[in-house]
A and B are shown apart, each in its own frame.
Chain A
Amino acid sequence: MILSEIATSGPNFFYLAPWLVFIPLIGMLTNLLIGKRLGEKAIGGIASTASGLTFVVAVLLALSLRAYPEGTTVPFADWITIGELQLRWAFRVDTLSTTMMLVVSGVGTLIHIYAIGYMHEDVRYKNDPGRFRRFFVYLNLFIAAMMILVSGDNYLMLFVGWEGVGLCSFLLIGFWYEMDTLGRPSTANAMAAKKAFVANRVGDFGFLLAVLTMFWVFKSVQFTDVFASAQQIAESNPGAILAITLFMLLGVAGKSAQIPLYVWLPDAMAGPTPVSALIHAATMVTAGVYLVARTAPLYVLVPQAQATVALVGGLTALFAATIAVGQYDIKKVLAYSTISQLGFMVAAVGMGAFVAGMFHLITHAFFKALLFLSAGSVILGVERGHHHAAHHDGHEDDHAETFDPGDMRNMGGMRKTMPVTFWLYLIGALALAGIFPLAGFWSKDEILAEATALNFTVYILLAIAAFFTAFYMGRQIWMVFFGKPRHEAAAHAEESPPVMTIPLMVLAALSLLGGALNLPGVETLAHWIERTFETFGVKLHPAEFNLNVAITSTVLALVAIFLSWLLYGRKPLTDGQPDPLKRILGPLFTGMENKWWIDELYWAVILNPYIALARFFADVIDWRFWHDWFHDTVIAGTYQWLSKTALNVWADQRGIDAFANGLGNTTKALAQRLRGLQTGFVRNYALSVFIGVIVILGYLILQ
C-alpha cells in the first residue's frame, strides 16, 4: 500500500507526450539543415541523442503511468473539423502505447548508435560518404512517424504515422537506389523499395477502408468513442464490425508482412542493415500487431475475424519458416524468420492472447534487432576481409564485382575471426530458437500455451514453425561460424568496432533477460498492459504456464538444432557443395530455396496480367483511342476544321472581316471622292456659301 501511495502521488509527465514526436523531428531538421557542415560523429550524435531523449520521454511517461495507470489523452491541437468528423491531434498515453514507445525508442536508440559505426563503413564501401547524413535524417523521421503511429488517439492519426513509417521504409530500402545489394549499378534496390511501397499500399487500402467503414458506422474514429459504443454496434450491426476487422487485417497483412502481402519484406533487405533491424524487424513491421492489440475491443466481438487473423498468422509463421530453411543469404534467412515471428505475434493477438503477442513483440524486437545487427557486423566483417584479401592479392576489380558478402556459402569458421559477434549472434539465435531461459523461450512459449487453450489448429502450425525456426537458426550458426572458411574474405574477416558491438551487447543482455518482463506467476507485463484493456472492457484470457507445452517446444527446438548439427555442423559445407538438405528433401528443398515460387506466382497471376492490362489501357485505350483518335482526330480535328474553315474563313474572313473592311473601304472610297471638294481655294468655299444663300433664299420665297 505504501508503494502504491508513492506511486499515486508520483510525478505526472503526461504533458511531455508531444515531445515524443517533436524531439526526433528536431533532430531530423538539425541534421537536414546544418548537417552538411557537421562531421559524421556530430550527425550520428545528434540523431542518437534525439532518439535517446525520445526514449527518456517514453520512460517518464511510463513512470507517470505507474501513478495513473488508467492512462490519459494529451490533446495538442485541433486537426480536422468537417461536419460530423471532429478530429484533434491528441496523444494517447496508456500502458499499451507506452510499451510500444519504449520498444521503438529504446531499440531505436541502440540501432542509431550502431548505425554510426555501420554507416561509416557502408558509405565508404559504396563510395558516397555524403549519404551518411541522409541516412540519419531518414532514421529520425522514422522515429517521429512511428511515435505518431503508436501515440495517436484516433485511427486517422495512427494512419498518418502508418503512412509516415511506410514512406521511411520506402526511402530506406531504396537508400542505395542506384545499385543492387552487391553495389553493382542496377535498379534492383529501387525495385525492392517500390515493391515494398506497392505491397504496403494494398494493405493501406484495406486499413483506410476499415477506418472509413468505422466512421460510417460509429461516426467517429477516436479510440475511446469507438470502443465505448462497440458493444452496442456489435448487437445492431455485427456485419460492420466484421468488415472493419477484416479490412484491418488486410492492413496488418501489408504492414506486418503476413500472407498474402509478405513478399515485400525479404526484398526490403536491400536497405542498409540497421534499417532491416529497426524498421523491418523490430518496430515498423510490428505496427500491425499493435493495431490488432489496439483494436482488441472490436476483435473480441467477432470470433470469425479473430479466427481468421489467427489462422493467417499461423500459416504465415509456418510458411515463412519453411522458406527460411532454404535461403543462403544471411539477411534473407533473418527476413523470413521475421515474417515467421510476426506470424506468431499476429496469431497471438488474433487468438485474443494480446499480452502474449505484445510480449513476443518486445522480446522479438530485442533478439531480432540483435540478430540483424550482428548479421550486419558479420557482413561488414566479411567485407573488410574481402578488401583486405583483395588488397593483398592485388586483383581488386574482378572480385569487387561478383563477391557477395552476405552469402553464407562464402562464410564459415567466423567464430574465430569475429568472436564477439559470434557470441552475440549465438545469444540472438538461441533466443529466437526458444531455448530456456532466453527471452524468446518465454514469449514464444506463452503464445504456444495460449494457443493450446484458444485455437489448437494454430498451435499445431506454430509448433511446427517453431521447430523450423530452431532448425534454420542452427543451420545458420553452423554455416556462418563453424567449419572452415569457404572464401578468403571470411578467413580475413575482422571484428567490428565498439560503437557497433556495445549496442549489440545491450541488446544481447535484453535478449537474455527479456523473459523476466513476464515470467509465469509474476506476469509484470500482463498486469501492466491489462490496465489498458480493462479500460476498454476487454477481458483478457488469464495466461497459464503450461509445462507440457514448454517441454514439447524445448524438445522440438533441441531436436531441430541437433538435426541441423547433423547436416551442417558435423560435416561442414565445403566450397561449391550443394546444400545437404537438398539430397534428403529433393524437390521440397528446391521449393524452399525458391520461396515456393510465390513471387513468380504473383507475377504470373497478378502482375503480368495487370501490366498487360495497364499496357492495354495505356497503348490502346489511352494512346490510340483517347489520344490519337479522340483527342487528335475528333476534338482537335473538329476544332481545327471549325477554326480553320468554319469560323476563320466563313465567319471571320467572309463575315466579320468583310464587314469591317467593307466599312473601312467604303469610308475610304467616299473620302477619296469627297476630298475633291476640298480644293483649298477659299473662293470655292465662298461659292458654296453663296449657293447655299441662294438655295435658302429660294426656299424662303417658295414657302
Chain B
Amino acid sequence: MLPVSYYVGLSAVLFTIGALGVLIRRNAIIIFMSVELMLNAANLAFVAFARAHQALSGQVFVFFVITVAAAEVAVGLALIVAIFRTKHNIDVDQLSSMKG
C-alpha cells in the first residue's frame, strides 16, 4: 500500500492544472472541462482521505459530487448552447458587456 500522501500530492497537481485551465483558456467548453478536472482532483483527495481514515463517508461524498457534477454539466452545457445561439461564439472574453 502506497502512502496516501502520494495520492493527495497527485490530486494537488491535477487541481492546480484545472485551475490554470480555468484562468488561461478562453474557450468556455475547455474552461468547463477544467472545472471537471478540478472536481475530479477533489474526488481523488476524498477517496484518499477516506482510505487513510477508514471512513467510507468520503466515498459517499464522491458519489454525491459525481451526481452534482452531472447536473452541473447538464445546466452548464445548456447555458453554453444558449450563449452560442445569441453570440455565435463561446469565447468568454467576448462576454464582457458587464464591464464597469
Contacts and interface: CB of A to CB of B under 8 A. Distances in A.
> Do chains A and B directly touch (beta carbons under 8 Å) in the complex?
yes
Interface of A: 674-683, 686-687, 690
B100 A681 contact: no
B54 interface: no
Contact of B96 (A674, A675, A679): A679
B19 interface: yes
Interface residues of B, number: 13
Given A680-B96, A683-B26, A690-B23, 19 more contacts: A675-B100, A677-B100, A678-B98, A678-B100, A679-B100, A680-B95, A680-B98, A680-B99, A681-B93, A681-B96, A682-B92, A682-B95, A683-B22, A683-B23, A683-B92, A683-B93, A686-B22, A686-B23, A690-B19
Which interface residue of A676, A677, A679, A681 has the most chain B CB atoms within 10 A?
Answer: A681
B14 to A, nearest CB: 16
Interface of chain A, main secondary structure: helix
Interface of B: 19, 22-23, 26, 31, 92-93, 95-100
Nearest to B92: A682
B88 to A, nearest CB: 18
B22 to A, nearest CB: 5
A686 B31 CA distance: 11
B99 to A, nearest CB: 3
B92 A681 contact: yes
Contact of A678 (B19, B26, B99): B99
Contacts of A675: 100
A678 B96 CA distance: 9
Nearest to B26: A683
Given A681-B92, A682-B95, A676 B100 contact: yes
4 A-B pairs with the lowest CB-CB distances in the bound complex, closest first: A678-B100, A680-B99, A680-B96, A675-B100
Which interface residue of A676, A679, A683 has the most chain B CB atoms within 10 A?
Answer: A683
Contacts of A687: 23
Nearest to A674: B100
Contacts of A679: 96, 99-100
Contacts of B92: 681-683
Contacts of A683: 22-23, 26, 31, 92-93
27 contacts: A674-B100, A676-B100, A677-B100, A678-B98, A678-B99, A678-B100, A679-B99, A679-B100, A680-B95, A680-B96, A680-B97, A680-B98, A680-B99, A680-B100, A681-B92, A681-B96, A682-B95, A683-B22, A683-B23, A683-B26, A683-B31, A683-B93, A686-B22, A687-B23, A690-B19, A690-B22, A690-B23
Contacts of A682: 92, 95
A675 to B, nearest CB: 3
A94 to B, nearest CB: 100
B16 to A, nearest CB: 10
A248 to B, nearest CB: 93
Nearest to A676: B100
B93 to A, nearest CB: 6
B94 to A, nearest CB: 10
Nearest to B24: A683
A687 B26 CA distance: 13
Contacts of B98: 678, 680
Which interface residue of A676, A680, A690 has the most chain B CB atoms within 10 A?
Answer: A680
Contacts of B19: 690
B84 to A, nearest CB: 15
Nearest to B22: A686
A683 B95 CA distance: 10
Contacts of B96: 679-681
Contacts of B95: 680, 682
